Amino acid sequence: MRLVPVSVSAVAVAWALAWCLGTPVTVSAQAVTAEATPADCSKVWVGREAEFEQFLRTAAVERFDDIPVGVTKPKRAYFKPGGLAESAAWKPLRPGIHGGFWDSYKAEIAAYELDKLLGLQMVPPAVERTLEREEGALVLWIERVKTWRPEENLEGPDAYTWMKEVVRRKMFDNLISNGDRNRGNLLYDSQFHLILIDHSRALTTSKDMPTTLTRLDKVLWERMDALTYEQLEPALGPWIGKREIRAILARRDKMREEVKQLLAKASQYAVFLR
């Protein structure tokens, strides 16, 4: 065990460690107690979102490297050593048609903001920034992860928990109409946490949903079901338009009808993961 002096950031770090470790954390007036950070914990931003967002907005970038994969030609931006992160993905993708598809760096930020609203904790922090006289999205680069092909028979040490991860990913992709999910933007770490990246083609006005759901995560569905325009507009309005926000709710309504149909055929215990 290790002791960390109490502060707002220390408490946030402790809860983030607890999330990664799956173990309880004790917070007292004198100290915050937590197990040592596992070297393979990938979701370093959980509980520290504002801190990472500020870092991404202000940290000095030393150099850019080309990323050999990705049709939108992102780059990897490296920060000066000693900060919260080593690097980030730089995506100065202006809103418009690219290669026959609508792409926008702003959708990357909107996906992250929606993830925060839902408490999903799968989309890494993304902020708007101007670098080399270009506006774009700077997205935290996630370390110690592998790519995953959805067709692979991957379960992890806890098959039920992994199933919930997969179901939550499908629910989110349906909500944002993301039909571009593939092994290049579907990551997992050694603790079988799913991390979702590359959302530049999502959050359009399309009503299409890429996946037919047979089960849902109950907690996440309740949050999705409660979404309103008044809740979404302040968070997403800077990044996507009113029609795109209404399309989120239209897709949610389609999901709601699917849930009703599932519940008409089976009990809630068969439909909802808890």
Q: Tell me the pLDDT tens digit for each residue of 237-272.
A: 999 999 999 999 999 999 999 999 999 999 999 999
Q: Is residue 152 located within the same domain as residue 249?
A: yes
Q: Is residue 74 located within the same domain as residue 163?
A: no
Which helix or strand (DSSP H or E) is residue 77 part of? strand 75-79
Q: Is residue 81 located within the same domain as residue 174?
A: no
* Dist CA 168 CA 120 (whole Å): 8
Q: Is residue 150 located within the same domain as residue 253?
A: yes
Q: Is residue 46 located within the same domain as residue 91?
A: yes
Q: Is residue 133 located within the same domain as residue 153?
A: no
Note down the domain range covering 258: 146-273
pLDDT single digits (tens) 25-79: 333 333 333 333 455 679 999 999 999 999 999 999 999 999 876 556 789 999 9
Q: Is residue 86 located within the same domain as residue 11?
A: no
The pLDDT value recorded for residue 70 is 57
pLDDT single digits (tens) 136-186: 999 999 999 998 877 777 777 888 999 999 999 999 999 999 988 887 789
Q: Is residue 161 located within the same domain as residue 254?
A: yes
Q: Is residue 161 located within the same domain as residue 262?
A: yes
**Backbone dihedral region for residue 222 (phi beyond 0: left; psi -120 to 50: alpha; all else: beta):** alpha
Q: Is residue 135 located within the same domain as residue 61?
A: yes
Judged by DSSP in three states, 243 sits in helix
Q: How many independent structural domains does the chain possess?
A: 3
The pLDDT value recorded for residue 71 is 57
Q: Is residue 64 located within the same domain as residue 182?
A: no
Question: Would you say 45 and 124 are in contact if contact means Cβ atoms under 8 Å apart?
Answer: yes
Q: Is residue 68 located within the same domain as residue 124?
A: yes
Per-residue CA distances from 174 to 111, 211, 256 (Å): 12, 6, 12
